[in-house]
């Protein structure tokens, strides 16, 4: 039984170390700067969950190392709750990262973005609440993403820009949709009128004004969701690994708790027989 508890203590200590990247993932999500950090969806809960994992893993380590029934019981109960929360976060991450509004454009290295490619829940997140979108839009505008793109002097001819890999926000917010048929002047300046204005509703929303650009376009909302999707795809890898590890450790913790109960009953029985 002592060997089993020592093994459990080692395993829970390994989990204690593994929870550090989980907490770091949450902090990374919550501290994103620039345009990619404007849509904050369930970021601090991930960081809080990582901190709880640290606390619970420490409790489990102490309970297994010292063979304390009370600590092990708290550890097992908290671990069950955290596993449930992790599964819920995994479902949310799958919803966020599964659908994509990106679509390839012939003759372009970058992709264009449309809201219709994302789930209805995500579309409501950016388009269903005007006040929320105004806050996100102000954040994207203030991030300077489009200003930095406009200051890039490496695009001498249009073909150089066409062969550039743009971020979702750069593609969706800083330029008009390719289907509109505007003529390239600079990354954030396009001459018109649009050759095919009926191809996309965003064609009429485009403006060469640096304060307007395509910030009111559906493609900009889709670009913000594209950034959000990329972040959650990375975070979901850590969440999945944490869930698998926690389920394994939960089973081992149950065994350790049963061993602690058995040892306690054996001690009581032996104590009673001696007296």
Looking at residues 130-147, what average pLDDT do you find? 89
CA–CA distance from 42 to each of 45, 89, 199 (Å)?
6, 9, 35
Tell me which DSSP letter residue 108 carries: -
CA–CA dist 219, 205 (Å, integer): 10
pTM: 0.77
Taking alpha carbons only, the member of 262, 268, 248, 260 closest to residue 73 is: 260
At 185, give phi and psi (nearest 5°): -120, -50
Question: So what's the pLDDT on residue 223?
Answer: 92
End-to-end CA distance of the chain: 25
Residue 60 or residue 156, greater confidence = 156
β-partners of residue 112 are 103
Among 21-30, 185-194, 208-217, the range scoring the smallest mean pLDDT is 21-30
Domain ranges of the chain: 1-99+231-273, 107-225
Angle separating helix axes 44-66 and 2-30, nearest 10 degrees: 170
Tell me which DSSP letter residue 197 carries: G
Among 75-84, 106-115, 211-220, the range scoring the smallest mean pLDDT is 75-84
Residue 226 or residue 18, greater confidence = 226
Question: So what's the pLDDT on residue 2?
Answer: 52
Q: How confident is the model at residue 1 (pLDDT cuts 50, 70, 90)?
A: very low
């Amino acid at each position: 039984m002592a060997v089993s508890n020592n093994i459990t203590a080692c395993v829970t200590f390994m989990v204690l170390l593994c929870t550090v990247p989980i907490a770091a993932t949450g902090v990374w999500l919550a501290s994103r700067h620039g345009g990619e950090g404007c849509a904050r969806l369930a970021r601090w809960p991930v960081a809080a969950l990582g901190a709880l994992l640290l606390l619970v893993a420490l409790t489990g380590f102490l309970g297994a190392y010292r063979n304390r029934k009370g600590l092990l019981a708290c550890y097992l109960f908290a671990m069950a709750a955290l596993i449930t929360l992790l599964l819920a976060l995994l479902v949310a991450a799958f919803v966020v990262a599964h659908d994509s509004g990106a679509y390839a454009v012939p003759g372009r290295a970058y992709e264009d973005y449309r809201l219709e490619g994302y789930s209805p829940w995500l579309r409501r997140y950016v388009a269903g609440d005007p006040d929320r979108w105004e806050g996100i839009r102000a954040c994207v505008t203030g991030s300077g993403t489009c200003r930095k793109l406009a200051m890039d002097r490496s695009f001498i001819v249009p073909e150089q820009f066409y062969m550039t890999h743009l971020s979702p926000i750069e593609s969706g917010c800083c330029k008009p949709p390719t289907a509109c048929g505007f003529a390239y002047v600079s990354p954030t300046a396009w001459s018109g009128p649009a050759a095919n204005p009926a191809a996309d509703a965003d064609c009429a929303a485009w403006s060469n004004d640096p304060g307007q650009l395509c910030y009111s376009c559906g493609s900009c909302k889709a670009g913000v969701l594209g950034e959000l999707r990329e972040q959650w795809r990375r975070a979901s890898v850590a969440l999945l690994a944490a869930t698998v590890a926690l389920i394994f450790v939960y089973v081992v913790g149950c065994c350790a708790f049963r061993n602690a109960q058995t040892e306690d009953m054996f001690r009581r029985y032996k104590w009673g027989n001696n007296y």
